[in-house]
Amino acid sequence: MLQSLSRMPADMSSDSRRQLLNAVTDLFLLDGEPSDTSKSHYGDIALRTLPHLESEDRKQYADSVAATPSLPHEVAVSLASDADSEVAKLVLKLSPVLTDTDLAAIAVSQTQAHLTAIAERARLSESVTDILVERGDSGVLRTVSGNEGAQFSDHGFDRLLQRGGDDVAVGEALARRSDLSPQRVQRVLRIVEQVAEQGERSKDSADLAKQARQQRLEVKLLLSDLRAQVRTLPEVVTMLADEDRAFHLAQVLASAADISNEQALRVLLQRDVSGIAVLGRALNLDAETFRAMLSLRGRRLFFAAKTIEDDLRDYGRLDAATADRTMRFLRLKTKVA
């Protein structure tokens, strides 16, 4: 059916093309695991249709498929590269289909609005943040500074401080981060204090930095309590999830599962729930504890309440033995690496 629809008449009106694309999209999304052939035909229809649609129609379509993991790669790239940033925004922010190479190419060629949307992604690699801090305006720098899912290379961090060092908002965003090394924290504090001098903002920044240091110490104490069995893992996980402390939660999960912090943070914040579900089941986390993690994911990744309930139901069906086998493989992979 999709193959026949891909041969649409050249003289179709814009409205007819929009209606056809919407209808075909509804059919495509019904298939949870479309074949490569179906994806190819659907992608052909979408790519033929999009250039003929008005911006508002493209935006409505883009928003409806932005988080779809089965969206053909070419369609995701086309939407994310749209000259209208309102069309591209949600795809840039949410699409699991876009690669670092895609994001880098868009970041070097598109507008500041496109860069801001990229800076809001749940996770960003060093290669992408390097471009954002090089090309981004103050809004982009502030956004990426406060995004704990954004990783910074040494060069990227240096450039961020060089380009945004005179912006107190950037300094405050960095001071709030829980993932900075002590060396980076000290650099941030020095710059914030120099810029804000003795004003009220300086006091606010110092308070934020103090809070960040206290939280880092708290996590060390929590890990010590877990090892001494003074606290339970579900108790600690629920507390950190309720406080929306994703990076600290990843540290605790990584320690409990004997995997890297990066692996734990990746499965916690990627849109596909299977990774964090396997990790939770392998750690014998109960449904209410897992619900707390799903709620954190919902806040960070903008999931609907129904999605959280569906993921919680599927978690209850996950086989513990399968989860254990998967985790043993991940641990072995970590040690080999």
Among 110-124, 145-159, 206-220, where is mean pLDDT lowest? 206-220
Tell me the mean pLDDT in the region 209-227: 83
Amino acid at 251: Q
| Spatial distance between the Cα atoms of 141 and 150, rounded to a whole number of angstroms | 12
| Spatial distance between the Cα atoms of 122 and 271, rounded to a whole number of angstroms | 9
| Spatial distance between the Cα atoms of 327 and 331, rounded to a whole number of angstroms | 6
| Spatial distance between the Cα atoms of 265 and 254, rounded to a whole number of angstroms | 8
The most confident of the ranges 30-44, 46-60, 249-263 is: 46-60
DSSP letters of 9-71?
-TT--HHHHHHHHHHHHHHHHH-SS--HHHHHHHHHHHHHHGGGS-HHHHHHHHHHHTT-TTS
Tell me the mean pLDDT in the region 160-189: 82
Q: Per-residue pLDDT for 9 more than 70?
A: no
CB contact at 8 A, 20 and 8: yes
For 82-106, the pLDDT digits (tens) are: 999 999 999 999 999 999 999 999 9
pLDDT at 2: 46
Burial 41-69 (b: 16+ CB within 10 A, else e): bbbbbbebbbebbeeebbbebbbebbbbe
Among 102-116, 131-145, 298-312, where is mean pLDDT lowest? 298-312
pLDDT at 4: 44
The residue among 252 and 14 whose pLDDT is bigger is 252
pLDDT at 198: 43
Confidence of residue 301 (pLDDT cuts 50, 70, 90): confident
Confidence of residue 51 (pLDDT cuts 50, 70, 90): very high
